[in-house]
Amino acid sequence: MATITETTQPQPVQPPPAVRMFELLSGDIVTQLVHVAAELHVADHLAAGPRPVDELAVATGAHEQSLFRVLRALHTGWARSPVSHRTRTR
């Protein structure tokens, strides 16, 4: 007769309290970033492929530097967006 041994599942590693607090506080920021991108229909403008930020700014009617910051924030860990490198016109 076989014996059944109870195995314990490894417990997930919990992030330090400061990291968890940052995650909680930044959740609202992520929501706002996604909202801005949705209001500007950024996904529609990127459907055909990557575009420089200056072109996206013109297409969406957004301020170029502000749009760049929104896209950079979304791209650096919260979402992946096919945005080509920033081109400066100044």
Query: Does residue 72 lie within any of the structural domains?
Result: yes
Closest CA to 64 of 52, 80, 46: 52
Helices 64-73 and 53-60 pack at an angle, to 10 degrees, of 110
Written as one string, the DSSP assignment of 71-88 is: HHHIIIII-----PPP--
Query: Does residue 10 lie within any of the structural domains?
Result: no
Query: Does residue 78 lie within any of the structural domains?
Result: yes
CB burial class (10 A; 0-12, 13-18, 19+) of residue 77?
exposed
pTM: 0.63
> In the numeric block, which tokens belong to residue 69?
């910051």
Count how many domains the chain has. Answer: 1
Query: Does residue 90 lie within any of the structural domains?
Result: yes
Question: For a pLDDT cut of 70, what percent of the chain falls above it?
Answer: 78
Q: Which domain holds residue 52?
A: 43-90
Query: Does residue 5 lie within any of the structural domains?
Result: no
Query: Does residue 67 lie within any of the structural domains?
Result: yes
The pLDDT score that the predictor gives to residue 50 is: 93
CB burial class (10 A; 0-12, 13-18, 19+) of residue 12?
exposed
Query: Does residue 26 lie within any of the structural domains?
Result: no
Q: What is the pLDDT of residues 8-49, one digit of tens each?
A: 778 888 889 998 888 888 888 888 999 999 999 999 999 999
Pick from 5-9, 16-20, 65-69: least confident:
5-9
Query: Does residue 85 lie within any of the structural domains?
Result: yes
